[in-house]
Every structure is written in structure tokens, then in C-alpha cells.
Amino acid sequence: MKKFLIVGLGNIGEKYDNTRHNIGFKIIDALAKDYDATFETDKLGDVASFRFKGRTFILLKPNTYMNLSGKAVKYWMDKEKISIENTLIVTDDLNIDFGTIRLKEKGSAGGHNGLKDIQEKLNTTTYPRFRFGVGANYSKGRQVDFVLSKWSKEEISLLIERLPVSCNVITSFGTAGMANTMNTFNGK
């Protein structure tokens, strides 16, 4: 049985609920709901799992806060004996238009502190990541305020359409592989 670790990045706490920076949590929550998976608090995060097409998907929402996500990712990869190729990091991206999906097998952190910490803890820039565009509708120097602010009403209505697509990206990653998933979903 192949296992996959799907990590949604975000910040814990009510004040961060429904913020752009927590899109990783939101996507992972939607996927868990689709497969009736229930999160339980465990070491370094909330964890749920489900089976789909002969694969096991382990969902992780680190409770280390965004900028220290690498510790939780490394711990759960080691604990579940999941290779880096079978680990997918789901996160927000300011450099992509709202709702646009971009999957990559490697690359820089692009200024994202959560990805930077993961790269430091895994000692590599080569790991699968799923970036969900949150846009860049902010004034110069207001980037942090933008990602930590709540979704607009228009964005919330569009998210309703984008979340099922995002869930399909993740199950495709586990069943069809990274290359096929990138070909099918990148830029959508």
C-alpha cells in the first residue's frame, strides 16, 4: 500500500481562520470532509487519514505555526516512513493570481517562510509542492497584512468552486503521479 503525506500549511488559532495564509489548512479540511476523515491532535499537528484507490493519504496540519512547519513535516515523514517524492506541501502563493494552481517538484521558497523552513529541515529544495494563488492585491510593504487578512466576499464565493479542484489535485498526485498531475492542473 502506497502512502502519501499531504501537508497543508497554515497558522493555528481562531484569529488565523479564513485568512489567505491558511489556504493549506482550508484545502486539507475540504479533502478530509470529502473522505469522512477526522483530524486528531497528535505530535506537532492535527492528523487525519483516508484510503483512495489503494493508497493511504495522511493529512497533516502542523501546529508549529507557518514559519516552523519543517519540524512537523520531517517528523511525520520519518514516523510514517514516507519518501519525499510522496510528500506534498500545500500552501499559498502571492505571486500567482487568485485561485490559480501551480504544482512544482522543486524550486526556491519564493520568500515563503514556511517553505524556507521545510527546505532547511529536509535539507533540499526538491520536494513536491502545490501552490494556490492568493493574488497580490496589496500596497507596497503590506504583504504580511494581506496574507493574514480574511478572504473577501468575492474570494469566498470563488473558493467554493476552487476547493473541489484543489482536492482533485491531491488525489491525482497520489494516483496519477506528479508529472501527470502537473500536466492536468497547472495554470487552471
Active site residues: 21
Strand partners, 104: 129
Q: Please, what's the b/e burial string for 78-103 (b: 16 or more CB within 10 A of its CB; e: otherwise)?
A: eebebeeebbbbbbbbbebebbbbbb
Smallest CA-to-CA distance from 176 within 92, 63, 54 is with: 54
Phi, psi of 108, rounded to the nearest 5 degrees? -80, 170
36: CB partners within 8 A, 6+ apart: 50
What gap in Å lies between CA 113 and CA 181, rounded to an integer? Answer: 25
